[in-house]
Chains A and B, each alone.
Chain A
Amino acid sequence: YFVSVTVSWWGGVQMGPPDPILGVTEAFKKDTNPKKMNLGVGAYRDDQGKPFVLSCVRKAEALIAAKQLDKEYLPIGGLGEFSKACAQLALGSDNEVLKTGRSITVQTISGTGSLRIGANFLSRFHGGPRDVYLPKPSWGNHTPIFRDAGMQLKAYRYYDPSTCGFDFKGALEDISKIPEQSVILLHACAHNPTGVDPKPEQWKEIAELVKNRNLLVFFDMAYQGFASGDIDRDAWAVRHFIEQGHNIVLSQSFAKNMGLYGERVGGFTVVCKDADEAKRVESQLKILIRPIYSNPPMNGARIATTILNTPELRALWLEEVHGMANRIIKMREQLVDGLKKEGSTHNWQHVIDQIGMFCFTGLKPEQVERLTKEFSVYMTKDGRISMAGVSSGNVAYLAHGIHAVTK
């Protein structure tokens, strides 16, 4: 019989703008220039510009395949051995928090999933102000994550554009004014997007100030191992805060440091007053998780656990992480050399001082636009480049382009 044509329900749905970070890759794909460079999303590339699957990952996968495991649902909080190894990696296996059982770690959908669970948890249970203070600038996705969870966003000074470094004075000033019991988000290491990290002495002062202000600390650690090449060094700030008595919440990602991007491996940790509180918090986290995705995916967590808990694989992993971090450090040095060779008179020291995958070049939006249009170098509008996308084969070209738009 006749099917009447009705008005669509979706006439009012607006077209969403492309994601600022992932949209860069989309644009890059369409470009036909053979010299094009994708310095947008933070995914590590080897010196041939290819995705890098770590050997420890391939070995772990082979071990797992041989076990012929079943595919039964994981618990809501994920693979128990994974959560344990994940917490140990961040806190150090001899940490008093782990010994007394006063923390809970759940497996999450990589860093994003961890941040979102954390944000949802705060939204539901945090008795203090609904404001989350982010460093200025921060990862672009932090804001919508917290907002969608029902929190409000504020900022504290962080990056100093005049030095391309840390605005320590500004940060302390702003933090000292944050209302008590607000949430402050800190990047544990390899700050995204700037690559600017506080020095240990600065971290100590921040920790004390934050304690005096009675703020709830939310650490985002997406690059443990990737920043300095040393996992303990990169976790120093997290461990120091805990030592100083902060009961932090912590998001971890294994996307970059194990190259497990698409497997979505992460953890969310809440450090509590005692084991009883940890149990209660765990029960509430499960209630938050269940109506989103029921329970997390197994594959990546199994790989990560196998690596962390198998001595030879763990040792190999540490080597490979070190290798990735070193290649990036080398590219930073080569980029600065290249710029000097091009005759640039600007001070590019910050390229070497910054740490981790990203470099805040200091390029202005107009310069970024030129770099993209004239040289097919793709990056985010804020001047951030992913050093992982730089190789010995294209670093000279990049130096040439940057010099051209900044001279």
Chain B
Amino acid sequence: MSPQAPPVAVFKLTADFREDSHPQKVNLGVGAYRTDDCQPWVLPVVKKVEKLIVEDSSLNHEYLPILGLPEFRSAASKVALGDDSTAIKENRVGGVQALGGTGALRVGADFLRRWYNGTNNTATPVYVSAPTWENHNGVFADAGFKDIRPYHYWDAAKRGLDLDGLLDDLEKAPERSIFVLHACAHNPTGTDPTQEEWKKIAEIMKRRNLFVFFDSAYQGFASGSLDKDAWAIRFFVSEGFELFVAQSFSKNFGLYNERVGNLTVVAQDNENLTRILSQMEKIVRTTWSNPPSQGARIVSKTLNCPELFSEWKGNVKTMADRVLLMRDQLKTKLQDLGTPGTWDHITQQIGMFSFTGLNPKQVEYMIKEKHVYLMASGRINMCGLTTKNIDYVAQSIHEAVTKVQ
């Protein structure tokens, strides 16, 4: 007997938004980029490359290898680890093409459940940030892990990183626990550790033998710079960690529905890597057999061609810059309105999301009274803001904060 299951919150929000007929409605829900006209944006470089693919009659629709398109996998790992990566030169880095960031996380989680900390050790604790992307829990739970715990992350009082709490959790976690770290542009808070803070995290994780699993869904999207956004990953690799990086190209390539992701595996040496990848194949074969080719072709062509790669970086910067502009304007307007509280966190936070600090009652007010849709957590998608609606949104936040406690 199948009971009715609750819908995924973020999709329900969008569904409710669609049904709303209010002329000033604003959707600050689901995480996809929007232009200043509030339209989806297919990157110009993607349009260009797609045209090349459609016109190339030598291309067919044959199966990719189980682990995916080789040129895609290597280019994707290189984007994360850097052109000059020693680990890549030492041949101890491999990629598993996966269905989006979710697919990369899931393949990694399935592998860890089978092969990490013994075999089939479902008791290994998995730590995810409090809060985190809600699907992290589902991915690791369905991969079989029985003990998924939060680590301190968001400090609601100071609207920033709870570093002491985080470090304390690292010190107290059982050895070999798995930690899911957001490489940049933390979802949903937009709050990232500084480089100094990352160094502290790394030091404890190495000393206590904790497993590093990076979730990298916003490389380039956060600061506008691929290298800057990958700093934490590269630092950990340089510190000698064997780690996983689940990469998504949904946002930075705008290829949401083509499901382009890559699980980058950094191993101690090539021999270990080979065995790991052979077991990754087994996992992939019973999940989706081999990954979809269209999105991987687009990304691969772009990353492997200098001019296209350059054009792509420009497109990414366009998106990142618009978000930075909206952050700046929102903060300024709230300050000008004299909205109670401090709003520095809006420009200190980074990436697509901002944890406004609005409480559930205030969020309800925003949705019901002002038709401004955001997550119950107070998370807003900065991409939903435009020069046309930002005044209305700022005014709405002002009202919510002053009228509702």
Contacts and interface: CB of A to CB of B under 8 A. Distances in A.
A252 interface: no
B287 A22 contact: no
Given A3-B240, A53-B60, A264-B288, A73 B115 contact: no
B304 interface: no
A280 B4 contact: yes
Interface stretch (B159-167, B276-284, B372-380, B392-400): B276-284
A144 B110 CA distance: 14
Given A10-B272, A112-B289, A262-B63, A293 B99 contact: yes
B198 interface: no
Contacts of B287: 109, 112-113, 116, 148, 292
A240 interface: no
Interface string B114-139: 01111100000000000000010011
Q: Which of A72, A76, A145 has the most chain B CB atoms inside 10 A of its CB?
A: A72
Interface in A75-126: 75-76, 109-113, 116, 125
A262 B61 contact: yes
B259 interface: yes
Given A10-B272, A72-B32, A291 B141 contact: yes
A165 interface: no
Contact of B288 (A5, A16, A110, A125): A110
A73 B257 contact: yes
A321 interface: no
Contacts of B256: 71-73
Contacts of A6: 240
Nearest to A6: B240
A53 B61 contact: yes
Given A109-B288, A116-B288, A263-B293, A298 B268 contact: no
Given A277-B2, A293-B102, A10 B275 contact: yes
A314 to B, nearest CB: 18
Contact of B100 (A71, A75, A277, A293): A293
Interface stretch (A190-198, A211-219, A282-290, A356-364): A282-290
Interface in B242-275: 242, 250, 254-259, 267-269, 272, 274-275
Given A290-B8, A298-B258, A299-B294, A65 B275 contact: no
Contacts of A43: 62-63
Contacts of A262: 61-64, 290, 292-293
Contacts of A76: 8, 11
Contact of B102 (A71, A287, A288, A294): A294
A9 to B, nearest CB: 6
A10 B115 contact: yes
B149 interface: no
Contacts of B50: 65
B214 interface: no
Contact of B103 (A22, A65, A284, A293): A293
B43 to A, nearest CB: 9
Interface in A360-407: none
Given A53-B61, A259-B61, A113 B288 contact: yes
A19 B2 contact: no
B51 interface: yes
B23 interface: no
Contact of B211 (A4, A9, A11, A299): A9
B105 to A, nearest CB: 9
Contact of B61 (A68, A141, A260, A292): A260
A279 interface: yes
Contacts of A279: 4
B66 A19 contact: yes
A281 interface: yes
A292 B54 contact: no
Contacts of A259: 61
Nearest to B240: A3
A313 B75 CA distance: 37
B42 interface: yes
A295 interface: yes
B51 to A, nearest CB: 7
A10 B61 contact: no
B259 A295 contact: yes
A181 to B, nearest CB: 13
A279 B239 CA distance: 50
Contacts of A14: 275, 279
Interface in A247-263: 255, 259-263
Given A65-B51, A65-B54, A261-B61, A292 B286 contact: no
B1 interface: yes
A300 interface: yes
Given A57-B61, A263-B292, A8 B269 contact: yes
A34 interface: no
A8 B268 contact: yes
A3 to B, nearest CB: 4
Contacts of A264: 288-292
Interface in B30-58: 30, 32, 39-40, 42, 46-47, 50-51, 54
A62 interface: yes
B259 A19 contact: no
B11 to A, nearest CB: 7
Contacts of B61: 51, 53, 57, 259-263, 300
A8 B272 contact: yes
A73 B99 CA distance: 12
Contacts of A296: 99, 259
A298 B65 CA distance: 20
Given A43-B62, A71-B255, 15 more contacts: A8-B272, A15-B275, A15-B278, A16-B279, A19-B66, A71-B256, A109-B288, A109-B289, A262-B61, A264-B291, A286-B8, A291-B139, A292-B142, A294-B103, A298-B258
17 contacts: A9-B242, A12-B115, A19-B66, A19-B281, A43-B62, A70-B40, A112-B287, A116-B287, A125-B1, A148-B286, A255-B63, A262-B62, A291-B135, A291-B142, A292-B103, A292-B287, A299-B295
**Top 9 A-B pairs, shortest CB-CB distance:** A291-B138, A293-B99, A16-B278, A262-B293, A112-B289, A298-B257, A283-B5, A109-B288, A70-B40
